[in-house]
Amino acid sequence: MALDELNEQIRACRKCRLWWGAKNAVPGEGPLNANVMLVGQNPGAEEDETGRPFVGRAGKFLNKVLAHNGIDRQTLFITNIVKHVTPENRKPLPDEIAACVPYLVTQVNEIKPKIVVLMGTAAWKAPRAEGVEYVETVHPSAAMRFAKIRKRFEEDFAALKKRM
């Protein structure tokens, strides 16, 4: 399936409760031949406004860590495990993840990245595709707030750069 078609399906999706409180779906963005995919938990308020992933505070922090490690954000495909904003930016619930994760599976199957970085415990629930390396790290919104978590996040991205 072409990703344009998938994006249309996501925008029209009513498979869980999250579409109801959203202004825009956030399917994800990046090159369709990306070697690395980043997967967060859920879009936040600014992502909901713009329909784009990681454009709010956590996204700016992520951009800084990427730039510090010489990783060009434009080369990555960036998405979330659920494609609509959650109430009060809470973690997505198990039934919401179960409803939405087939879209992520299709994205991984189409893009065929070498590495998928799962950011945050909700993202860690993503099913694993054969032949793809999965890296679990913390979520940037936690990393930007707590020094100990930030250290792990920064180390994981430094290690990622070496494997890219």
Q: Which residues contact ligand SF4 (rule: CB under 6 A)?
A: 10, 13-16, 18-19, 25, 82-84, 96, 99-100
CA 83 – CA 28 distance, rounded (Å): 8
Residue 39 near residue 123, CB atoms below 8 Å: yes
From residue 161, give the alpha-carbon distance in Å to each of 24, 67, 71, 72, 119: 32, 11, 7, 10, 16
Nearest residue (CB) to ligand SF4, 25 versus 122: 25
Nearest distance, CB of residue 78 and ligand SF4, angstroms: 16
Nearest residue (CB) to ligand SF4, 26 versus 38: 26
Nearest residue (CB) to ligand SF4, 100 versus 122: 100
Nearest distance, CB of residue 154 and ligand SF4, angstroms: 30
Nearest residue (CB) to ligand SF4, 82 versus 111: 82
**If residue 158 lies in a helix (H) or strand (E), which one and from where to where?**
helix 147-163
Tell me which residue of 51, 6, 50 sits closest to 25, measured CA to CA: 51
Nearest distance, CB of residue 69 and ligand SF4, angstroms: 30
Nearest distance, CB of residue 115 and ligand SF4, angstroms: 24
Tell me which residue of 98, 87, 85 sits closest to 43, measured CA to CA: 85
